[in-house]
Amino acid sequence: MEPSNDSLRIDRRTALKWVLAASAALQLPAGVSLAQSTAKNVSGYGKDPNLLKIHQIGELWPLTLNEHQRTTATVLSDLIIPEDQGSPAASKVGVVDFIDEWISAPYPNNQNDKPVVVQGLAWLDQEAQRRFKNSFSALVEKELVAICDDLSAAKPAAQFEQAAKFFARYRSLTAGGYYTTPVGMKDLRYVGNVAMTTFDGPPVEVLKKLGLT
């Protein structure tokens, strides 16, 4: 069942807008995981990490989310970016690992996001129990959408104001994690970072539109 609110899920036709906004918010270079782009000394910023090494999730600092929280995060991430005919769901490309690593990092921006995400995931469970007498991860899609529609409304009701802020931030983190992976960039049809043997210049149509011909 499709959600009634178009802002709940990320429309892949407008995903470029999302990834640009998310990249600015996350301050991460495209295609580089947080573990590859931050310092190893958790007591401070420390020295630059070895960017030639692929660090394992949780190698640089202890992670935050427990198994239940990760299950909730997986369901929410996949509701935001579900699987389709051309691309996998968010959790299949490591978005939950990315978010867990992000909120676990010892830097100020990351630590500001930590309570937002942890408390937001707890709120989802509480709201699921209140409405449907079940945990969030156990709900059927129609029930999941009913909760998230209230959080993604253009003007959320007063009782959802704080949870809506969590949802907006979590959605940005999901987009940032997804669309900076090779799979996500392919989904966007991004063609950068590819060696070219020749370059014929901008298309004539573009030059005409810019008045440069």
pLDDT class of 93 with cuts at 50, 70, 90: very high
Task: Tell me the pLDDT tens digit for each residue of 114-138.
Answer: 999 999 999 999 999 999 999 999 9
Q: Structure pTM?
A: 0.72
Task: Tell me the pLDDT tens digit for each residue of 9-20.
Answer: 655 545 545 554
Is the alpha carbon torsion for 61, 64, 68, 69 positive or negative? negative
**Which candidate, 11, 5, 15, 22, places its Cα nearest to that of 144?**
5
Q: From residue 157, give the alpha-carbon distance in Å to each of 27, 57, 60, 154, 167.
A: 31, 37, 40, 10, 14
pLDDT at 49: 57
Residue 12 identity:
R
* Gap between the Cα atoms of 26 and 181, Å rounded: 14
Is the alpha carbon torsion for 72, 143, 120, 18 positive or negative? positive
